Amino acid sequence: MKTVKLLFLTLFILMTVSLEASTIRVKNGQSIQSAVTLAAEGDTLIIEKGTFAENEITIRKPLTLIGESYPIIDGRAKGNVFLIASDNVHIRGLKIINTGMSNMDDSAGIKFFDSKNCTVEDNILEETFFGLHFSNSSNLTIKNNRLSSHAEREYQTGNGIHLWKCRDSFIEGNTVSGHRDGIYLEFVTNTVSTGNMIEANNRYGLHFMFSHDNSYIQNTFRKNGAGVAVMYTRNVLMKENIFEENKGASSYGILLKDITDSEVIGNIFRNNTIGIYMEGCSRSTFQKNSFTQNGWALKLMASCDQNTFEENNFIANTFDISTNGSVVLNTLQNNYWDKYEGYDLDKNRTGDVPYRPISLFSVIVEKIPSAVILWRSFLVTLLDRMEKVIPSITPENMIDNSPKMRPYDIRTANT
Amino acid sequence: MFKLLKYALYDIVKSRFALLYTLFMVLVAISIYQVSEDMSKVSLSLLNIMLMIVPLISAIFATTHFFNNLEFTELMLAQPVKRRDVFLSQILAVMFVLSLAIVIGFGVPMILWGADSSVLILLGIGIGLSVVFAGLAFLASVLTRDKAKAIGISLSFWIYFSLVYDGFVLYLIYSLADYPLEKPTLALVFLNPVDLGRIIMLMQLDISALMGYTGAFFQDFFGSAKGILLSSAVMFVWMILPVSAAMRVFKRKDF
């Protein structure tokens, strides 16, 4: 009896030992794919410094891949580099370069399918078509990766961080440049993006559709081809982001199309052709944002309703607001306008006369863009003055009844 | 010729107008510099002065100067000097003083507070507009015998170029809104020195990139070497044309 017990004990010990994750070192010259195939579930692969010319490395079990001083994994311009379809895969410290350049399979640096609880951290991706590509996954952590690509044209590159049908994820501290869209989210819910630096991408810095209940906090979107464009989404929180230097004929700080029940708070819009362009948006709040030196701070199309703009700063914009109709169903209150010329007799820091942020010239330019040639001419100044005194063409309801005398102090942590 | 120019200059300096004008420019520039620290904002504010005040003062001053010196001019015409020299000495003196006032008036604050290329271009535009409007004023003066009438004509030149013309352009753009108008508007700009100066200046500033498609189109043109060359050539033509027209009339005029 005793021997049987002992036997069981030894067996048990043996089993736990074999279940315990082991660490496998992959040396320069060895194949990562064969190491992955040999590894047991939950093992850790340490990839030593070197260059590994491999692609389509397929992982179908929980593994941790850690690179030592950024080993290079060169996809040799063929297909994907990593393909992952498993939960609990963690990838850290790799340098992945040269994926294929094809829309046929959406070649990506790392591509996840149907995965849960995965981490991609501290990786460098260069010259990838898509950078990190996730579909039908959840509980992802995408952190501190640096993605860059170079392409002349939009169709020559894919998205930096691409999530399709994902949820409950966390995207933090990544740097994305030179891709088509910096961050692309479609059917993604409950996801938080913070502290990302999205710069010089060919199309949009941030692009999402049908992605409800997400937040974007303290990100910077700079010099992207067409700025940021987000559509068909409800319950979005955008807080303390910076949108700057998005210049061009169709370039926007943010383009909001059919966004509802959302909050845009404490953001900085600087040096954009158009700060915010809104179409078909409802029930959203825009609070404590700073609009400085934009061509148009706000283009508020007549299809928007029940939005509130309060406590924002409008400073040194060519046009504060322009619109395309005479119906205004939105509220403006307690904003600071640097073009306000009213007075404050009772010293309550709120101007005693209302401010009309739409000038006659902005209405004209909205109708006929080439009239912009007359900007800052004496005639236009004169017309604007007359319109201010007796409004006839500009929408009567676009009015801030409580303009502030002093600007708000608005700053974000990521300046 | 040189002697004539010297006397004409003495005359202007004696009238103290030049001094007041320079002082006015200095005061304006200093106050603008003190209000704002952003250089592009300073340029924009100075631009308003350049486009409005400078042509107005140039036109009026040149006209009054012509008539104040009419007796001296007539006396000179009785002497064995060329009519061309008499005319040129008068107009060059006026242009010189007006330009000097701008250079000193805006130059002193610039030395004190610093300048960038946009402010220098602004200076060039100011000088260009002074020359254009002095020429137009002399043209108005030689066309008539009456001082009041000449001032009236100069003023209408000023009103036409800084207000009426733009209204006409706006009307044209409005009624032809369905057509692509970028190139025609570009051509229209060349037909008005004030507009030309304004556009050249605005294109120097960063803001023009923020003006959507049309703004980008204009910046593309005025930013290119061809555009710079063409626009300065047209400005030059504007500076020469009124003066030479006025000189033609002056040469045949019966005083």
Residues of A in contact with B206 (CB under 8 A): 271
Which residues is A183 bridged to in the sheet? A161, A206
Contact map slice: B 125-164 vs A, CB within 8 A = 162-163
Q: Strands, DSSP E only, in A235-328?
A: 237-239, 242-244, 252-260, 263-265, 268-270, 274-279, 285-287, 290-292, 296-300, 305-310, 313-315, 319-322
Nearest to B163 among A318, A367, A379 (CB): A379
Nearest to A373 among B48, B162, B199 (CB): B199
User: Residue B49 corresponds to which tokens in the numbers above?
Assistant: 């002065």
pLDDT band at A77 (very low <50, low <70, confident <90, very high): very high
Question: Which of A358, A265, A378 has the alpha carbon at shortest distance from A318?
Answer: A358
Confidence (pLDDT) at A286: 97
Measured CA to CA, the distance from residue A212 to residue A199 in angstroms comes to: 24
Domains contained in chain B, number: 1
- The vertex-A214 CA angle with A211 and A217, nearest 5°, equals 135
Query: B211, A375: Cβ pair inside 8 Å?
Result: yes
User: Residue B168 corresponds to which tokens in the numbers above?
Assistant: 């006409």
Q: What is the mean pLDDT of residues A311-316?
A: 93
* pLDDT, tens only, B67-82: 998 998 899 889 888 9
Q: How far is B157 from chain A, CA to nearest CA, in Å?
A: 15
User: Residue A105 corresponds to which tokens in the numbers above?
Assistant: 């399979």
pLDDT at A225 over 90: no
Q: Does B198 touch chain A (CB under 8 A)?
A: yes
Q: What is the mean pLDDT of residues A237-262?
A: 92
Confidence (pLDDT) at A371: 86
Measured CA to CA, the distance from residue A120 to residue A162 in angstroms comes to: 13
Range of the domain at B248: 2-252
Q: Does A249 touch chain B (CB under 8 A)?
A: yes
User: For an interface test with A, which of B170, B199, B200 has the most A Cβ atoms less than 10 Å from its Cβ?
Assistant: B170
Using DSSP's 3-state secondary structure scheme, residue A225 falls into coil
Residue with the bigger pLDDT between A193 and A387: it is: A193
Helices B2-14 and B70-77 cross at an angle (nearest 10°) of 160
% residues pLDDT > 70 (chain A) = 95
Q: Strands, DSSP E only, in B66-173?
A: none
CA-nearest residue to B49 within chain A is: A378
Task: Determine contact, residues A374/A368, Cβ cutoff 8 Å.
Answer: no
Q: What is the H or E stretch that residue B70 is in?
A: helix B70-77
Interacting residues of A14 by C-beta distance below 8 A, sequence separation 6+: none
Using alpha carbons, list the distances in angstroms from residue B135 to A9, B130, B132: 111, 8, 5
* pLDDT, tens only, A251-275: 899 999 999 999 999 999 999 999 9
Nearest to B212 among A293, A316, A372 (CB): A372
Q: What is the mean pLDDT of residues A154-173?
A: 93
* pLDDT, tens only, A344-356: 999 999 999 999 9
Helices (H) and strands (E) in chain A, counts: 4, 39
Q: Does B60 touch chain A (CB under 8 A)?
A: no
Mean pLDDT of successive 10-residue stretches along chain B, which has 255 residues: 85 85 90 79 82 93 92 89 91 93 86 77 91 96 92 95 93 89 87 92 71 78 86 94 94 84
pLDDT at A15 over 60: no
Residues of B in contact with A293 (CB under 8 A): 207, 210
Which residues is A87 bridged to in the sheet? none
Q: Does A294 touch chain B (CB under 8 A)?
A: yes
Residues of A in contact with B214 (CB under 8 A): 369-370, 372-373
Q: Does A371 touch chain B (CB under 8 A)?
A: yes
CA-nearest residue to B52 within chain A is: A378
Q: Does A293 touch chain B (CB under 8 A)?
A: yes
CA-nearest residue to B218 within chain A is: A373
Query: A373, B52: Cβ pair inside 8 Å?
Result: no
Q: How far is A322 from chain B, CA to nearest CA, in Å?
A: 13
Confidence (pLDDT) at A193: 96
* pLDDT, tens only, B115-163: 777 778 888 999 999 999 999 999 999 999 899 999 999 999 999 999 9
Contact map slice: B 157-196 vs A, CB within 8 A = 162-163, 166-167, 169-170, 173-174, 177, 181-182, 185, 188-189, 194-195
Using DSSP's 3-state secondary structure scheme, residue A276 falls into strand
Measured CA to CA, the distance from residue B186 to residue B173 in angstroms comes to: 12
Q: What is the mean pLDDT of residues A283-304?
A: 94
Domains by residue range for chain A, with CATH: 23-206 (2.160.20.10), 226-358+395-415 (no CATH)
Query: B211, A368: Cβ pair inside 8 Å?
Result: no
Using DSSP's 3-state secondary structure scheme, residue A148 falls into strand
Confidence (pLDDT) at B228: 87
Residues of B in contact with A248 (CB under 8 A): 209, 216
Pairing of strands A44-47, A237-239: unpaired
Measured CA to CA, the distance from residue B8 to residue B15 in angstroms comes to: 11
ipTM of the complex: 0.84
Confidence (pLDDT) at A17: 47
Comparing A18-27, A78-87, A222-231, B47-56, the range with the smallest average pLDDT is A18-27
Residue with the bigger pLDDT between A144 and B209: it is: A144
Pairing of strands A319-322, A130-135: unpaired
CA atoms within 13 Å, Cβ hemisphere of A274: 27
Beta carbon pairs, A and B, within 8 Å: 87
pLDDT band at A76 (very low <50, low <70, confident <90, very high): very high
Q: What is the H or E stretch that residue A149 is in?
A: none
